[in-house]
């Protein structure tokens, strides 16, 4: 009986929240001079339209919200749209000038929604990802950024290249021994995870398996698979329709599925804590110059973090979550596009020949030669075409399609996307020359210079991805 009453109350609250607020906002925005799209039943109409759009899902499917807007506006999304599928309405902006202002002069009024912080507190604690951009945040970001100073980054990249070289050698041997099939996604996933582990934990060996709980069963998973499942679970939790509607449950894990998610979260945090303590002990026996340049050691030597284990775990979790899948998605996609485009692949091969100054078969290039030719200085000065292809890859398939939700903290006046046909003619074509200033593809449909904010796979302003340069170099 109590449960039934609770359910009825919950449903009433749900109806109030969805229907009342949606209609109120609809009316309010109309009064402000906005033109909500011509649905007489914004709530029901939008849901039905959305279901219709969802049914069309196929292999060419883009981000769900983007597909929905494309459908509603026949592919011609206006500069501003208010989307009422969410209780308070979401302002969708496709105008690069607006985005540019939000990253620059108006940046201080843009903030992550406070809910994200509550929702992720259990796993990410007070890490920079969802913390409000206050003084502590600014200070933390400054300290964390030193992980990407040039000498440190070079030493990390050298280790990554060395690991990659070894892994490729191993694969060549397997192929010579008759192995015929390779799952590229899995392969890249493993490679990137190894690379990120080197950068975060300074590790080059296989790590222990982690216990992952699902449906009452425990699977022992490699760290990569563990992270994949954990991030999928966290994403599912935050997209749950009840979660979107009921803020008061944000800090809690409700029901069996979420309780298991909570346990898995704790497993990861405990694992990182153990690594920290182990490392602290190991470092005691070393001289300062013998201490390796990885992220964990940076935290262990940083005044802001070194005495607070919980804060260190927060940032390590964020780095694991933010770095692994993004980078491996980028790399898999780039390889995919290279297999699809013979000319682009040939251009890249020519660049390799040019940089090495001879015509080697790839297998004749030694590890030392790769490290030398792919140093940070040479990446920017000698690998022009590789850089164009990497940029185009982040334009056509940004690994993060949508930023986390943002709010504007004060009433501000403001002005008035990466597949915007005005900015990027033939938006669905993979054309690295779009980023080459001497090419005709460098310009917009009207022959003008592109707006700076029409390309922002790493977001922008003070919330720009902290690993941007690192991610660009690693791919």
Ligand X SMILES: *[C@@H]1O[C@H](CO)[C@@H](O)[C@H](O)[C@H]1NC(C)=O
Please give the annotated binding residues for heme, written as ranges.
465
**Contact letters for ligand X, residues 308-327 (x by CB under 6 A):** x-xx----------------
Residue numbers 79-118 binding ligand HEM by CB under 6 A: none
Task: List the structure tokens of 303.
Answer: 């005044």
Q: Decide: is 251 part of the binding site for ligand X (CB under 6 A).
A: yes
Q: Which is nearer to ligand HEM, 128 or 234 (CB)?
A: 128
Q: Which segment (79-87, 194-202, 233-241, 243-251) binds ligand X by CB under 6 A?
A: 243-251
Task: List the structure tokens of 411.
Answer: 């009433």
Q: Which partner in ligand HEM, ligand X, none is near 459 (CB below 5 to 8 A by kind)? A: ligand HEM
**Interface pick for ligand HEM out of 53, 93, 128, 316 (rule CB under 6 A):** 128
**Contact letters for ligand HEM, residues 369-398 (x by CB under 6 A):** -----------------------------x
**Contact letters for ligand HEM, residues 323-342 (x by CB under 6 A):** x--xx--x------------
Q: Decide: is 138 part of the binding site for ligand X (CB under 6 A).
A: no
Q: Decide: is 466 part of the binding site for ligand HEM (CB under 6 A).
A: yes
Q: How far is the CB of 271 from ligand X (least distance, A)?
A: 19
Q: Which partner in ligand HEM, ligand X, none is near 268 (CB below 5 to 8 A by kind)? A: none
Query: φ, ψ for residue 456 (rounded to 5)?
Result: -145, 65
Residue numbers 291-310 binding ligand X by CB under 6 A: 308, 310
Q: Decide: is 272 part of the binding site for ligand HEM (CB under 6 A).
A: no
Q: Decide: is 247 part of the binding site for ligand X (CB under 6 A).
A: yes
Q: Decide: is 304 part of the binding site for ligand HEM (CB under 6 A).
A: no
Q: Count residues near ligand HEM (CB under 6 A).
A: 24
Residue numbers 17-36 binding ligand X by CB under 6 A: none
Q: Decide: is 364 part of the binding site for ligand X (CB under 6 A).
A: no
Q: Which is nearer to ligand HEM, 197 or 326 (CB)?
A: 326
Q: How far is the CB of 246 from ligand X (least distance, A)?
A: 10
3-state secondary structure the chain: CHHHHHHHHHHHHHHHHHHHHHHHHHHHHHHCCCCCCCCCCHHHHHHHHHHHHHHCCCCCCCCHHHHHHHHHCCCCCCCEEEECCCCCCEEEECCHHHHHHHHCCCHHHEEECHHHHHHHHHHHCCCCCCCCCCHHHHHHHHHHHHHHCHHHHHHHHHHHHHHHHHHHHHHHHHHHCCCCCCCHHHHHHHHHHHHHHHHHHCCCCCCCCEEEEECCEEEEECHHHHHHHHHHHHHHHHHCHHHHHCHHHCCCCCHHHHHHHHHHHHHHHHHHHHHHHHHHHHHHCCCHHHCCCCHHHHHHCCCCCCCCHHHHHHHHHHHHHHHHHHHHHHHHHHHHHHHHCHHHHHHHHHHHHHHHCCCCCHHHCCHHHHHHHCCHHHHHHHCHHHHHHHHHHHHHCCCCCCCCCEEECCCCCCCCCCCCCCCCCCCCCCCHHHHCCCCHHHECCCCCECCHHHCCCCCCHHHCCCCHHHHHHHC
Count CB-CB contacts under 10 A for residue 41: 12
Q: Which is nearer to ligand HEM, 69 or 331 (CB)?
A: 331
Q: Which is nearer to ligand X, 260 or 315 (CB)?
A: 315
Q: Decide: is 155 part of the binding site for ligand X (CB under 6 A).
A: no
Q: Decide: is 471 part of the binding site for ligand HEM (CB under 6 A).
A: yes
Q: Which segment (36-44, 271-279, 341-349, 463-471) binds ligand HEM by CB under 6 A?
A: 463-471
Q: Which residues bind ligand HEM (CB under 6 A)?
A: 128-129, 141, 318-319, 322-323, 326-327, 330, 398-400, 403-404, 457-459, 463, 465-467, 470-471
């Amino acid at each position: 009986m109590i449960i039934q009453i609770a359910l009825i109350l919950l449903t009433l609250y749900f109806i109030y929240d969805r229907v009342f607020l949606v209609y109120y906002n609809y009316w309010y925005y109309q009064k402000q001079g906005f033109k909500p799209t011509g649905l007489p039943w914004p709530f029901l109409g939008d849901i039905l339209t959305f279901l219709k759009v969802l049914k069309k899902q196929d292999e060419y499917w883009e981000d769900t919200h983007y597909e929905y807007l494309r459908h509603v506006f026949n592919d011609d999304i206006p500069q501003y749209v208010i989307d009422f599928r969410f209780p308070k309405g979401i302002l969708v902006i496709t105008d690069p000038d607006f985005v540019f202002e939000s990253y620059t002069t108006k940046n201080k009024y843009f903030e992550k929604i406070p809910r994200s912080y509550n929702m992720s507190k259990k796993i990410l604690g007070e890490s920079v990802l969802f913390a409000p951009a206050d003084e502590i945040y600014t200070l933390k970001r400054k300290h964390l950024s030193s992980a990407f100073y040039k000498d440190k980054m070079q030493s990390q990249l050298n280790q990554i290249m060395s690991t990659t070289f070894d892994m490729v050698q191993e694969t060549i041997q397997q192929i010579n021994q008759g192995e015929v099939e390779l799952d590229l996604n899995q392969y890249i996933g493993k490679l990137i995870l190894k690379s990120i582990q080197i950068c975060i934990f300074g590790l080059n060996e296989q790590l222990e398996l982690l216990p992952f709980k699902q449906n009452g069963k425990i699977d022992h998973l490699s760290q990569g698979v563990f992270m994949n499942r954990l991030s999928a679970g966290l994403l599912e939790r935050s997209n749950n329709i009840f979660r979107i509607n009921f803020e008061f449950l944000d800090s809690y894990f409700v029901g069996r599925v979420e309780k298991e998610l909570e346990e898995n979260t704790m497993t990861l945090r405990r694992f990182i804590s153990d690594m920290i303590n182990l490392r602290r002990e190991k470092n005691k026996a070393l001289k300062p110059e013998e201490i390796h340049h990885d992220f964990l050691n940076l935290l262990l030597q940083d005044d802001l973090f070194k005495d607070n284990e919980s804060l260190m775990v927060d940032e390590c979790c964020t780095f694991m979550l933010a770095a692994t899948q993004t980078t491996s998605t980028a790399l898999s996609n780039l390889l995919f596009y290279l297999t699809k485009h013979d000319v682009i692949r040939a251009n890249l091969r020519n660049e390799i020949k040019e940089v090495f100054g001879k015509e080697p078969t790839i297998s004749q290039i030694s590890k030392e030669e790769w490290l030398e030719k792919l140093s940070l200085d040479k990446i920017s000065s000698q690998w022009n075409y590789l850089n164009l292809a990497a940029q185009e890859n982040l334009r056509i398939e940004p690994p993060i399609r949508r930023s986390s939700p943002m709010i504007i903290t004060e009433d501000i006046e403001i002005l008035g996307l990466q597949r915007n046909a005005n900015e990027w003619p033939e938006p669905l074509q993979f054309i690295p020359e779009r980023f080459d200033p001497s090419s005709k593809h460098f310009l917009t449909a009207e022959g003008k210079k592109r707006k700076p904010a029409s390309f922002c796979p790493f977001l922008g302003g003070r919330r720009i991805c902290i690993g941007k340069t690192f991610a660009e170099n690693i791919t």
